[in-house]
Chains A and B, each alone.
Chain A
Amino acid sequence: MMLAIARKEFIHILRDRGTFLLVTIGPLFLMVIFTYTLTTDVKEAPLAVIDLAHNDASTALIDRLDASPKIHVERHLASADETDNLFKRGEVVAAVVIPADYGQVSLTRVPQVEAIIDGTEPISAETVLTEVYQIADAHSRELAGDALQSDLFEPPIYTTQERLYNDALSSKVDFYPGLMGMMLGLPAIALSLSLARERENGTLEQLMATPIAKRALLLGKLWPYLGFGMVDVYALLALGQWVYDVPFTGNLLAYSLIAFLFMFASLGMGLVVSVIARTQQVAVVIAILVFFIPPFFMSGTFFPVDAMPQLVQLEMMSLPATHFVTAGKAIYLQGTALRELWLQVVLLTVISVEMLEVSTFIFRKKVVGGFRRPAPPVLTTKENALS
């Protein structure tokens, strides 16, 4: 029985162009766009320089700033007055003022540059800030060291850096496994539409007239989307591996399991949405609000969950995407073994079962369409008054 429904739904997906695109090309297409546009890696951010010194030291500093891949010197200004205007026009994101006595080092005084940063875009501003600061700091230390022939200006403690999993700290590598959680929400959106569509088209009544059990009906609807979703998983993994240089280091089987559980859980949520929503439009709106936007912000993809208020963290725990991003990312980038991720496996399983139960519980196999319910009397009288 369930298989019959699944087969019907599968054929439906194949024949409905919109749904078919949504569950096949959709995730890949979005992923391509997202990876190109959502990177926060700052490249060649425009910088204004106000060089009041005009000596070898200041020229050397400007060259060094320009040489950094993160920033580039866009404008040379005579005075700092103009910087406000440039900031407002968005032509530069930072201005560096080199004082007139730059490079004239003594034991008691090391002239330093002053940097002004436009904080409107905090993420890139922070990168630019760090870069400018480090370059200026290192340069002035060198200048002082050379001029006074002393190592007094070296930092008191050196640090060596070692970066695991993602040597360049590239945001793309960080985001890719998280973005998969978003992309794999698309089949769930398609599923929420599907049931609402049956209701709207009146074919749900036909299904109700069959002796099929509620749970079998809902599960039968779910399986085909799960199948397409799993195909998406491997397609996205291939895309990451060979097109975007995000190497998959973990165990493919473990990843498949996590992905399967996640898909099941979010499709279960999709069922709940479609049972609640009476029309397809409503289903779309709710599905976008539930599947797409929160994972974008909340699943640790763009803002780490650790830094969020407890209340929000708690709420995040109820979203399957959060657990998928945590576990999937660990397997994907860090090669973490599945037994370390037992908590996520358990939680995803719990959400899956819970969603299936909830949707079965609230899904009534009776013909109570939204259309047949009589309008409340208040509305009717107002209606008359208006016309």
Chain B
Amino acid sequence: MTAPAYNFAYLDEQTKRMIRRAILKAIAIPGYQVPFASREMPMPYGWGTGGVQVTAAILGPNDVLKVIDQGSDDTTNAVSIRKFFVKTAGVKTTTTTTEATVIQTRHRIPETPLGDHQVLVYQVPIPEPLRFLEPRETETRRMHALSEYGLMHVKLYEDISRHGHIATAYAYPVKVDDRYVMDPSPIPKFDNPKMNDCPALQLFGAGREKRIYAIPPYTQVVSLDFEDHPFEPYRHDASCELCGATDSYLDEVITDDRGTRMFVCSDTDYCGTRRAMGHGTAAEDTEAAHDDR
């Protein structure tokens, strides 16, 4: 074949311009959801079509891409999106957090601190934090315009009155630069503090809901709470059985049909790196270490 079958990174140039303009507005108005003309992608909604469009719009030939799904480099979603960009953009990919310039993520923030040369792209299912409290877009838009977020505090308060504590465990609402309340996508609330004052640019893409929003580097991101019920990140009271980490977010893995379970790091790169350094049990050659090409 002499001509490329796709434009670089799949999307046509007009689509990229439209998405790029939305990204620039999103960065200028931290936490505000910019509407964009989301395209159909060659994967179903719920598989990261928003994140894929954002990644396709920012990606250049010299970028190094990492894709994670729930912290893992080697689950179906991560592997298929990585292959998609290898095929359509020919970019270099990596599983090592520190080597990546663009990291697309579903539902986690890497444990390794990010740098100011990196961009974190989140896949977002429902971008509107107020949607389950107020179904009308016209109303939620008005509430954002007026910074009228009392309803969200009522929701958190109802959590406390019913459960004795704020029971929201993921997609925990945050306030960005003291203005917009924002849905951080379904990351565990363990990850919320990593968004605050983060050196990396954070971009959020919701394909089905057609919204893009952003947190610029070094921006104040506060998890909503009450003075007498302060925000607390949750973590299983255990250490990783593979690398022994006591500071990482853990997945609970059922290992047989009699309820035996183990806890392991959800971030496979963090866990593998620690094991390679001699923590915990020795690392085996994992699937994620193989090149997709």
A and B from one assembly? no
